């Protein structure tokens, strides 16, 4: 606002100097020194206006970078709070497009439209006030014609906004389809469907191109309309001024001042309209980012209701001893876990993933979950991880005082400190092997990391890597086999030394040798812990105290004698 006020003062001062210089040059014989003084002042005003314009743009670019970084951070944080259950219900392409290339579209808003708002609010008002003092009739004409520009701008802007929304929807479809194609490319190549999907991406790209051209057409037509209205408005001021000047009703200095200032009254509003059209895409993206931030999600409270930080056994204070195999007696969960009439309904699915499920897991019990793919086994684990919230029902956690608390009322980060999770496809980051293992416990020493890797049967192949534990891995563990990635994930779990262990098909897709090593490691890892393991291999069920079959969201306890054949089937 301060820069806009300064700019308005400089515009009026520039017009005054130009009018004086031209009028004196036509009507009189000014001294050379006087002309030089006016020219010097005019040059100084132009230089200050140029510096002010640079300062305004620099400030706007810094503001744009700051806001985009802040908004990206907030959106990422909100997505993490909502969890993969919510993300899975949305289109991944939409999120990627919004927080990636999408937020960059805010640049025209902050560098063009937003600063122009202040200029459009200050400069026309300042010009009208100065012209009212010089010639009231011209000021009244400007006051009558000036609202025409924002009126036409709003009418055209509504159409631009609709066109931009359609363009962005087409871009989201294109991004989502391309993301799905890249993710499933190996499978598509195997079944010979890659070319067909490539054509689908081309069709989406054509739709986005057509939507973009429609938006540009509306924007260009709007510029024509605004230019025409502004030009006619200036003409309505200039023609009467010229006629009055010929009749002697106005002096030359005042006439020149009006002719120089009249376009300046319309220019900020005309520029504001064009900047609005350039910023509509950014505003559309921002609204989608705000929709993610406003997404409903239950907030959790700190641990209470009888479930204190000591009611669940803490991690061993001596991790070195725990890793050596001497599990402390208080390692187990002191209370039981219970799923109380839990139903989980994912968006876009007709049948619920879990349908009024009730299951109790006693402290120290090892429960194996078996059943066909997609039956709801991983959903049970995701409930305990806090990645999915029940549509109805409760997940209860028991403390050592016999009280229970709903997981929805627990600080989820504090709860996750008490569990270790080994997924089917663990994610390894583009960092060193030691850093990837140390995710289990960031403050672990190098000796603890090595002991954890030894217990997970990973020390052998890690030692053979070019730099051992300091070897940098590619994203997702590029350079390691599936079995090696799985054993690093088990090393994380050993290092975490948590009382609750969740295993999601840790041997899926492994060869016989890797599977044997992983099974031996998981057998040691399960000792003295409360365990839920999703199993598709009979070997993973051998050490289970209880086997539960999950089928179409329903649970059935299996007798031990049929558990092995059931898993094999």
Residue 311 lies in a domain: no
Q: Which of 393, 398, 510 is nearest to 457 (CA)?
A: 510
Q: Which of 264, 285, 306 is the last residue of a domain?
A: 285
Residues whose CB falls within 8 Å of the CB of residue 482, separated by 6 or more in sequence, listed in order: 509, 510, 514
Residue 513 lies in a domain: yes
pLDDT of residue 139: 87
pLDDT of residue 348: 65
pLDDT of residue 315: 40
Residue 52 lies in a domain: yes
Q: Which of 133, 135, 130 is nearest to 245 (CA)?
A: 135
Give the strand pairing for 546-551 and 392-398: unpaired
Query: Angle of helix 482-496 relative to helix 446-455, nearest 10 degrees?
Result: 120
pLDDT of residue 276: 72
Residue-number span of the structural domain to which 41 is assigned: 2-285
pLDDT of residue 48: 92
Residues whose CB falls within 8 Å of the CB of residue 463, separated by 6 or more in sequence, listed in order: none
94 and 230 part of one domain: yes
244 and 361 part of one domain: no
pLDDT of residue 234: 86
26 and 114 part of one domain: yes
Q: What is the pLDDT along the chain (569 residues), one digit of tens a residue?
A: 898 899 899 998 888 888 888 877 666 656 666 777 778 888 888 999 899 989 988 888 888 888 888 888 888 888 777 766 566 545 566 677 777 777 877 888 888 888 888 888 899 899 899 988 888 888 898 888 888 877 776 676 666 667 777 776 777 677 767 776 776 777 777 677 777 777 777 777 787 777 777 777 776 776 777 778 888 888 888 888 888 888 888 888 888 888 888 888 888 887 887 777 667 777 777 877 888 788 755 443 333 434 443 433 334 333 333 443 333 333 345 567 888 888 888 776 778 888 888 888 888 888 888 888 777 888 888 888 888 888 888 888 875 555 778 888 777 777 888 888 888 788 888 888 888 888 888 888 888 888 888 888 888 888 888 888 888 888 877 778 888 888 888 888 888 888 888 888 777 666 667 677 777 777 777 777 788 888 776 766 777 788 888 887 788 777 654 444 444 45
Q: Which of 266, 285, 304 is the last residue of a domain?
A: 285
Would you give the distance in Å from CA 143 to the centre of its chain?
Answer: 45
For residues 306 and 157, is the Cβ–Cβ distance under 8 A? no
413 and 525 part of one domain: yes
359 and 476 part of one domain: yes
Residue 536 lies in a domain: yes
| Residues pairing with 500 in the sheet | 419, 530
Read off the pTM. 0.55
pLDDT of residue 562: 46
Residue 342 lies in a domain: yes
Q: How far is CA 323 from CA 249, 320, 454, in A?
A: 100, 5, 9
251 and 331 part of one domain: no
The enclosing domain of 521 has a CATH number of 3.40.50.300
pLDDT of residue 402: 59
Q: Which of 285, 310, 329 is the last residue of a domain?
A: 285
For residues 354 and 343, is the Cβ–Cβ distance under 8 A? yes
Is 473 in a helix, a strand, or coil? Answer: coil
Residue 307 lies in a domain: no
Residue 309 lies in a domain: no
516 and 448 part of one domain: yes
405 and 349 part of one domain: yes
345 and 483 part of one domain: yes
Domain total of the chain: 2
pLDDT of residue 25: 65
125 and 187 part of one domain: yes
280 and 396 part of one domain: no
Residue 510 lies in a domain: yes
DSSP 402-463: S-EEEGGGS-HHHHHTTEEEE-SS----SSBHHHHHGGG-TT--HHHHHHHHHHTT-HHHHH
The enclosing domain of 228 has a CATH number of 1.20.1560.10
User: How many Cα atoms sit within 13 Å of 289 on the Cβ side?
Assistant: 28
219 and 331 part of one domain: no
């Amino acid at each position: 606002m301060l820069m806009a006020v300064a700019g308005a003062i400089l515009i009026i001062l520039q017009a005054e100097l130009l009018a004086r210089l031209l009028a004196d040059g036509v009507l009189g014989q000014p001294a050379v020194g006087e002309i030089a003084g006016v020219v010097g002042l005019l040059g100084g005003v132009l230089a200050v206006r140029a510096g002010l314009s640079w300062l305004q743009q620099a400030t706007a670019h810094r503001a744009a970078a700051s806001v985009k970084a802040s908004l990206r951070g907030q959106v990422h944080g909100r997505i993490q709070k909502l969890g993969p259950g919510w993300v899975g219900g949305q289109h991944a392409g939409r999120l990627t497009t919004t927080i990636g290339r999408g937020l960059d579209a805010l640049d025209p808003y902050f560098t063009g439209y937003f600063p122009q708002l202040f200029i459009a609010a200050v400069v026309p008002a300042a010009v009208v006030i100065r012209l009212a003092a010089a010639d009231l009739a011209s000021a009244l004409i400007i006051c009558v014609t000036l609202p025409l520009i924002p009126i036409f701008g709003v009418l055209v802007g509504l159409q631009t906004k609709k066109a931009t929304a359609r363009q962005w929807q087409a871009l989201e479809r294109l991004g989502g389809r391309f993301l799905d194609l890249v993710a499933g490319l190996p499978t598509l190549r195997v079944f010979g469907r890659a070319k067909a999907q490539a054509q689908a991406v081309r069709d989406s790209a054509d739709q986005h191109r057509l939507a973009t051209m429609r938006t540009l057409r509306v924007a260009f037509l709007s510029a024509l309309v605004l230019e025409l209205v502004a030009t006619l408005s200036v003409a309505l001021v200039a023609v009467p001024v010229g006629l009055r000047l010929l009749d002697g009703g106005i002096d030359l200095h005042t006439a020149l001042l009006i002719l120089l200032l009249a376009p300046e009254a319309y220019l900020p509003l005309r520029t504001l309209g064009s900047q609005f059209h350039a910023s509509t895409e950014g505003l559309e993206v921002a609204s989608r980012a705000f929709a993610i931030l406003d997404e409903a999600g239950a907030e959790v409270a700190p641990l209470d209701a009888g479930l204190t930080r000591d009611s669940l056994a803490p991690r061993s204070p001596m991790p070195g001893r725990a890793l050596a195999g001497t599990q402390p007696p208080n390692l187990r969960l002191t209370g039981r876990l219970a799923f109380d009439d839990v139903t989980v309904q994912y968006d876009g699915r007709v049948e619920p993933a879990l349908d009024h499920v009730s299951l109790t897991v006693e402290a120290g019990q090892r429960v194996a979950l078996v059943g066909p793919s997609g039956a709801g086994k991983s959903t049970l684990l995701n409930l305990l991880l806090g990645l999915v919230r029940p549509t109805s029902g409760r997940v209860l956690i028991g403390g050592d005082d016999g009280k229970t608390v709903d997981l929805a009322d627990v600080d989820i980060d504090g709860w996750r400190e008490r569990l270790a999770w080994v997924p089917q496809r663990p994610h390894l980051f583009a960092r060193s092997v030691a850093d990837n293992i140390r995710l289990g416990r960031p403050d672990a020493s190098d000796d603890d990391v090595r002991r954890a890797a030894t217990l997970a049967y990973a020390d052998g192949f890690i030692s053979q890597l070019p730099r051992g534990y300091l070897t940098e891995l590619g994203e997702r563990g590029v350079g390691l086999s599936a079995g090696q990635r799985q054993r690093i994930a088990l090393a994380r779990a050993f290092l975490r030394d948590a009382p609750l262990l969740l295993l999601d098909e840790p041997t899926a897709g492994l060869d016989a040798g890797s599977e044997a090593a992983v099974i031996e490691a998981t057998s040691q890892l399960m000792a003295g812990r409360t365990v839920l393991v999703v199993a598709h291999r009979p070997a993973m069920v051998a050490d289970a105290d209880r086997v539960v079959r999950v089928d179409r969201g329903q649970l059935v306890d299996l007798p031990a004698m049929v558990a092995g054949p059931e898993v094999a089937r």
